[in-house]
Structure 1
Amino acid sequence: MTGDRIIRAMRVHDADNVATAIADIAAGEAPFAESGVRASVDLGRGHKIALAPIARGAAVVKYGFPIGTATADIAAGEHVHSHNLATALGGDGDYLYAGAPAEAPLADVPARRFSGYVRADGRVGTRNEVWILPTVGCVGNLAARVARIAGERHAGRIDGIHAFKHPFGCSQLGDDLGHTRALLTALAQHPNAGGVLIVGLGCESNQLGALLDLIPAERRAHIRTLSAQAVEDDEAACLEHIDALVAGCSDMPRSEIPLSKLVLGVKCGGSDGLSGLTANPLVGRMADAVAAAGGKVVLTEIPEIFGAEQILMDRAVSQSVFDETVTLVRDFKEYFIRNGEPVSENPSPGNIAGGITTLEEKSLGAVQKGGKVPVVDVQRYGGEATLPGLTLLEAPGNDAVSSTALTAAGATIILFTTGRGTPLGFPAPTLKIASNSALAERKAGWIDFDAGTVLDAGFDGAAGALLDLIAATASGAPTKAEANEERDIAIWKSGVTL
C-alpha cells in the first residue's frame, strides 16, 4: 500500500524502463507508486507501461535485460506493446563461457518426503500404472479399447491403465522415425509404468524388434510386446498380456521417499504478462527446493529460451556443458532458418493478448522456471535426465510435444504454468499453476494452484503450499488433468512423410 492506494503495477528490476500492470487500469488513474507515472490509455492486466520516455531505436528493458527495441518514440505512461516494440533477435549469437559458477544459494524450503514406488533400478515412480504404447497409429484405437476394458476389469488394483495413441510410426524417414522410436522407448522405461505393453501392427516402419533393441535388457522385465497381424484375436491377446502385467505389479507398495528421488519437469503454456512475475518464479523456487534436496529438474522448450540463453549458459557447471548448451541453441536456431522461419516467430496470439510482446520477453520470464539450479547436463530429444541438478532437454515449445518429452526424460511430476489456461494432461501427473487469480477462479476445473496470490502475500507462503501439493501429488493425490482423464502424448515431427 502507498497511502490509501493499492500499487497496481510491478517493476521487476531497478534497470527496467517498463512496469507490468497487475490489474486492469483505466487511463488517468492514480500514478504508479514507484514512478509517479499515470497510464495514458486503458491498460489490461499483464501489459506494460513506460516508466520514462523511451526514444525510437532504444532498448526496452524488463527483468533487467532488453526485451526488444522501440519502433517509435514512447512517452512515459504509454502502453508498450506490439505497436511500438519489436524483437531484436536474429539467428546469430556469440556466447561467452565465464567459468564454472560459484555455488548459488537455492531456495530455503523445509524438506519434504513423498510416498512413491521404488523400482528395481532404484528410480522412484509417483504412480504405479500399466501403459499401452502403440508402435504405429494404425493400432492406436486397439490400444485405447484394450485400456478401457482392462481399466474396468482391474479397477482399484493399480493406479490406472492408459493407452497413449499417436498418428506416427509408419511412412516416416530419418529424424522423424528416430523421434518416434526415441519417445516410445523412453516412455516404456518410465518409473511410473509398473507394466508396459507395446503393441505393433506388423508391417510398419517402426518395427517392434528395432524398437526393443533401444531398451537396455535390464529394463525390459516389465515390458511385453504384441504384433496384431500375428494373432487371430488381437484384442483378447492384448488383454491377456495386460492381465499378466497387472498381476506382476499390483502388489507394489508405496514407500516413504526423500525429495531427492523426484524428477521435476517444468513447463509453461498459454503464458501472459504475469507468468514471469508470479507462476514461473514460484516454480523456480520448487526447482531450487528439489535440486537442493539432490533431485533432478528438467527444462525444455528450447525456442523459448532464445534471448535468455546466456543466463542458463552462465550456470553451466563445466566448459563441456556450456559447449553442449551453445550447440543445442544454435542447432535449434538453424532448424528455424532451414525451414525459412525467423527465430523470433513467437509469442503466440494468446501470449500477445496476455501482454507478452517479444520472444525475448517471453524467454526471460520462461527461464525463471529453472530457478538458480546449476545446469549439469544437456540431453537430446528422447534422452533421459540422469544427474542431480538442471538438465536442458531438446524439444520445441509446443505444449503437448514438450510435455511428452519431459515425461520421456523421466519427469515424474510436471509443473505447468499458464496465464490463459489449458485442460491438457500428459502421462506424468501434471499440476497446472495459474499466473493470476482470475484464471484460477474462472477455470477451477483445470487449475491446481493459484500463483496469483504472491502479488499480495509474497512467495514464501505460496512456496510452502505448492511444495506440499507436489508431495501430495507425488504420493497419489490426483491432479485436475488426471481427474478429467486428460492423458495424451504428442511426438515431434520435423521431416518428410512418405
Structure 2
Amino acid sequence: MSTESTTAASNSKPGCSVSLPEPATTQTVALWQVHPRDNVLIALRAIAQGEVLPAPYQHLTALEEIPAGHKVAIADLAQGAEVRKYGFAIGATTQVVKAGSHIHSHNTATNLSGELAYNYSGCQATELDYPADLPTEFMGYRRKNGKVGTRNELWIINTVGCVNRAATRIAAEANKRLAAAGILNTDSVQTSIDGVFAYTHPFGCSQLGDDLAHTRTILAGLIQHPNAGAVLVVGLGCENNQLAKLLEASPGVDSSRIRSFNAQQVEDEVEEGIAAVEELLALMAQDQRTACPVSELVFGMKCGGSDGLSGLTANPLVGQVADLAAGAGGKVILTETPEMFGAEQVFMARARNEAVFNDIVKLVNGFKQYFIDNNQPVYENPSPGNKAGGLTTLEEKSLGAIQKGGSAIVEQVIQYGELASVPGLTLLEGPGNDAVSSTALTAAGATLLLFTTGRGTPLGFPVPTVKISSNSNLAARKPMWIDYDAGAMLLPGVDSQQFSKEFFRYLLQVASGQYTRNEKSDNKEIALWKNGVTL
C-alpha cells in the first residue's frame, strides 16, 4: 500500500514519485501502489488466481495469476482507458479490463508515437544539500591533471582490432609477473597497483566519418581516465584510426604515464609491450591513495535486465545517491537515451536553463530520428526479459529508469564520447545497450558505475561496477554478481533515507579500494557504438 512519505527521487516533479510501502506485520508486503493516482498495484510476490487482495483492497479478488513484479488492476477499465503507474499514464488498455485482472502486454499498449513538441517553463527543481552525517572524503588517487581515480590500474588500449590478441597477451604476462613478484593488489596483498587490463574491441579499421570519430573519442576518453595510472596504446600502423590521431584526441594526460607503438614497426610487439608496461609499473608503484573530497567522485548510472521492481527499489536508491553526489558537488552521468522516451519531460522540467532544455529536446528528438532513419519503431523498447519481469510499455520502463537521476537539476547534455565537465547531473547521448552505454559512461569520466538489475547480469566494465538488485531473490541466487540488495528496502520498518545513506557509505568504501564482484570475477570489458559505414 502507498504512503505519503516519498524517496528523494520524488522531489523533482509531481507525478514521478516512488512511495515506499507501509511497514507490514508479515515478512514482506504483497502488493504496492507506487503513487496515490495509480490504478494498478505491483505484486511483490506471486498472487494466485482467486486470492483475495490484502487490505484496503480486500473487496477485490485476483481474477488470474499475477506474477511477481507484474501489475493488477484495482478498478474496472474501459477499452482505451489510461493505465497509471508512478502517477503517469504508462499506456492504454486494448480491451475492457476488470478489477483484479493482470495488466500486461496482452491488454495494454503504448500511447507514444513520433516526435513531440516541448515548451520551456523554467526550472522546477531546487538545489540539493549534502547531509552533515555523511563522510566528506574518500581515499583516491590524485592525478597530475587534478582528476581523482578510484583505482590505480594500467590500461592497454588498442587502436584497431587487429592487435587485440597482442594486447591481451601483454596484459596476461604483465599480471603473471606482478603476481609472482608479490606487487599485485589482492585480498591478501595490499599494494598500490590494481592490475593490468587490456580493453580490446573489433573496430578502428575501415571506418569513416562519424563512425570513426565515435571509436576515436571513446578510446581517447579511456586514455584520459583517472583510474588508469598509466596507459599503453598499441596500434597496427595502417588502420584508419591512426595512433598519432588518437593520441592527439587525448589532451591533458600525463605524458610520462603514456607509452605507445605500432606493431608493424617493432620486431616483437608482445615483448615491446611488456617492456613498456614494466617502465610504467615502476612509476605507478610510487602512487598512494590520499584523502579526497566526495565532490571529486563521478558516478555513472545504469540499469540492465530490469524487472517490475527496478523502478521501485534499485533505481530510486541510485537516484538518492545521485542527489547526495550532486549535493556534495560531485558529478552524476545518466545515459540510455531511448529509456527516457515517454519520461523526458521530467528531465526537461529540471533543466538548469533554457539552453539546457533545448539540448534535452535535441537529444531526445535526435535519437528518435536515429530510429526512424533506420526504419525501426521508436517506442518498441522493453526486451523479452523486461516483459517477463513485468514491464509492459516503454513509458513504464522509462519512468522507472529515470528514477536513477534522482531529483537533481540537469546541468549539462553531452554527446557520445564527450567528457562530463560540470558538477551535478549530466545527460549523455547513448543507446540502452548495457555494454555500449556503460563504456560511454566510463569514457565520459565515471569512476564508479552503479548498475541496477532485476534479472541479473555478470557484465562489468573498466571502473568498479556496483551491481544493485531490485529484489532479494536475485541477490540470494546470484551472490557472485550482486554487490548490494535494494530489495531489502521492502523489509518491514526500513527507512529509505537511512538505507540510502548506508549505501552511500558503502560506495565510499568501494571508491577507497574495496573490490566489487565484477572486479573479483575479472568481468571487465568495453563495447563501442557502431552506427556507420564499414569499407
Aligned residues of 1:107 and 1:285 also touching (Cα < 8 A): no
Confirm whether residue 445 of structure 1 aligns to residue 469 of structure 2.
no
Question: What's the secondary structure of 1:257's corresponding residue?
Answer: strand
Q: In the alignment, which residue of structure 2 is the partner of 1:53?
A: 76
Query: How far apart are residue 218 of structure 1 and its match?
Result: 5.1
- Counterpart CA distance in 2 for 1:141 and 1:353 is 38
- Counterpart CA distance in 2 for 1:323 and 1:44 is 41
Residue 144 of structure 2: which of 120, 126, 129 is its match? 120
Deviation digits for residues 226-269 of structure 1 (CA, Å, limit 9, x no counterpart): 10000011111111111111112221110112211100000000
Question: What's the secondary structure of 2:411's corresponding residue?
Answer: strand
Confirm whether residue 179 of structure 1 aligns to residue 201 of structure 2.
no
Confirm whether residue 403 of structure 1 aligns to residue 426 of structure 2.
no
Confirm whether residue 487 of structure 1 aligns to residue 509 of structure 2.
no
Output the aligned Cα RMSD: 1.5
Q: In the alignment, which residue of structure 1 is the partner of 2:403?
A: 368
Confirm whether residue 66 of structure 1 aligns to residue 66 of structure 2.
no
Unaligned stretches of 5+ residues in structure 2: 1-22, 185-190
Unaligned stretches of 5+ residues in structure 1: none
- Report sequence identity in percent: 55
Residue 144 of structure 1: which of 144, 151, 168 is its match? 168
Q: Following superposition of structure 1 onto structure 2, how do residues 124-273 of structure 1 map, counting pairs within 5 Å? A: 124-155=148-179, 156=184, 158-216=193-251, 219-273=254-308
Question: What's the secondary structure of 2:300's corresponding residue?
Answer: strand
Q: Which amino acid aligns with 2:377?
A: P
Query: How far apart are residue 404 of structure 1 and its match?
Result: 0.3
Query: How far apart are residue 384 of structure 1 and its match?
Result: 0.7
Distance 1:180 1:109, change over 3 A: farther
- Counterpart CA distance in 2 for 1:381 and 1:34 is 48
- Counterpart CA distance in 1 for 2:26 and 2:84 is 29
- Counterpart CA distance in 2 for 1:420 and 1:397 is 16
Deviation digits for residues 299-335 of structure 1 (CA, Å, limit 9, x no counterpart): 0000011000000111110111110111011110000
- Counterpart CA distance in 2 for 1:367 and 1:283 is 10
Confirm whether residue 394 of structure 1 aligns to residue 429 of structure 2.
yes
Q: Following superposition of structure 1 onto structure 2, how do residues 265-344 of structure 1 map, counting pairs within 5 Å? A: 265-344=300-379
Aligned residues of 2:130 and 2:328 also touching (Cα < 8 A): no
Distance 1:26 1:302, change over 3 A: same
Deviation digits for residues 275-299 of structure 1 (CA, Å, limit 9, x no counterpart): 0110000010111111111100000
- Counterpart CA distance in 1 for 2:25 and 2:489 is 21
Distance 1:468 1:402, change over 3 A: same
Aligned residues of 1:2 and 1:33 also touching (Cα < 8 A): no
Question: What's the secondary structure of 1:267's corresponding residue?
Answer: strand
Query: How far apart are residue 109 of structure 1 and its match?
Result: 7.3
Aligned residues of 2:163 and 2:234 also touching (Cα < 8 A): yes
Aligned residues of 1:118 and 1:125 also touching (Cα < 8 A): yes
Residue 17 of structure 1: which of 39, 46, 52 is its match? 39
TM-score, normalised relative to structure 1: 0.97
TM-score, normalised relative to structure 2: 0.91
Question: What's the secondary structure of 1:265's corresponding residue?
Answer: strand
- Counterpart CA distance in 1 for 2:123 and 2:172 is 51
Aligned residues of 1:280 and 1:369 also touching (Cα < 8 A): yes
Residue 473 of structure 1: which of 483, 499, 510 is its match? 510
Q: In the alignment, which residue of structure 2 is the partner of 1:28?
A: 50
- Counterpart CA distance in 1 for 2:151 and 2:29 is 43
Q: Which amino acid aligns with 1:258?
A: P
Q: In the alignment, which residue of structure 1 is the partner of 2:7?
A: none
Query: How far apart are residue 104 of structure 1 and its match?
Result: 4.8
Aligned residues of 2:306 and 2:452 also touching (Cα < 8 A): yes
- Counterpart CA distance in 2 for 1:231 and 1:248 is 24
Query: How far apart are residue 345 of structure 1 and its match?
Result: 2.0
Query: How far apart are residue 28 of structure 1 and its match?
Result: 2.1
- Counterpart CA distance in 2 for 1:306 and 1:389 is 22
- The total of aligned residue pairs comes to 498
Distance 1:452 1:2, change over 3 A: closer
Query: How far apart are residue 69 of structure 1 and its match?
Result: 1.1
- Counterpart CA distance in 2 for 1:351 and 1:137 is 33
Residue 98 of structure 1: which of 121, 143, 153 is its match? 121
Moved more, 39-48 or 25-34: 25-34
